[in-house]
């Protein structure tokens, strides 16, 4: 088992939740993950990492699979201009590679916002630390565990 997957599993167990991690096959995109999980595309949680242009700090935006982050709205929430983080920045901040970034189990705390669309479902699925693994979780629990704030940052 990869260290990244183990970290997500441990985060779930530490929260008193069941280990719902599963091998979804190729799940690098929201479309692939939705097909593997048998759910709507908007039930897939995309973990989008931005970096502050001035501060260099990373920010996490959890969005529904069919939505896209509006950089101007995200920048307003962060209080500074944001740019998409590159693979090195993502791995350094989260411990995960792009395509498998989980909303849980980051190496360090990350300011996080969550798309209100995700709150419309009883269950959502998110990357579990690898491009092949996902886990299911109630959106309210995901919001609590990731210390996310519900906000409008969608195009």
Mean pLDDT (whole number) for 30-55? 95
pLDDT at 4 over 90: yes
In a domain, 56, yes or no: yes
69-118 confidence digits (pLDDT tens): 999 999 999 999 999 999 999 999 999 998 899 999 998 889 999 999 99
In a domain, 117, yes or no: yes
> Rounded to whole angstroms, how far apart are CA atoms 44 and 116?
13
Report the number of distinct structural domains present in the chain: 1
In a domain, 106, yes or no: yes
**The CATH number of the domain where 47 resides is what?**
3.90.960.10
| Residue position matching structure tokens 């931005």 | 50
Q: How large a percentage of the chain has pLDDT more than 90?
A: 88
- No. of helices (H) and no. of strands (E), the chain: 5, 8
pLDDT at 67 over 90: yes
In a domain, 33, yes or no: yes
Mean pLDDT (whole number) for 28-38? 90
**Helix, strand, coil fractions of the chain, as percent rounded to 5:** 35, 25, 45
In a domain, 72, yes or no: yes
In a domain, 104, yes or no: yes
Regarding predicted confidence, which is higher, 18 or 25?
Answer: 18
> pLDDT band for position 29 (50/70/90)?
confident
Question: What's residue 25's pLDDT?
Answer: 86
Mean pLDDT (whole number) for 138-151? 97
pLDDT at 1 over 80: no
In a domain, 155, yes or no: no
Domain residues for the domain of 103 are 3-150
pTM for the whole structure:
0.94
Question: What pairs with residue 51 in β-bridges?
Answer: 58, 83
* Pairing, β 44-52 against β 124-127: parallel
């Amino acid at each position: 088992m990869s260290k990244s997957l183990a970290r997500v599993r441990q985060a779930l167990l530490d929260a008193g939740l069941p280990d719902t991690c599963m091998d979804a096959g190729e799940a690098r995109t929201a479309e692939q993950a939705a097909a593997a999980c048998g759910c709507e595309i908007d039930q897939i949680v995309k973990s989008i990492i931005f970096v502050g242009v001035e501060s260099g700090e990373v920010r996490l935006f959890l969005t529904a699979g069919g939505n896209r982050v509006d950089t101007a709205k995200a920048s307003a929430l962060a209080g500074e201009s944001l740019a998409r983080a590159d693979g090195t920045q993502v791995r350094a901040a989260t411990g995960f590679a792009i395509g498998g970034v989980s909303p849980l189990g980051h190496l360090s705390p990350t300011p996080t916002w969550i798309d209100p669309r995700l709150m419309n479902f009883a269950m959502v699925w998110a990357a579990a630390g690898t491009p092949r693994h996902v886990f299911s979780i109630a959106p309210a629990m995901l919001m609590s565990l990731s210390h996310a704030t519900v906000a409008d940052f969608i195009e």
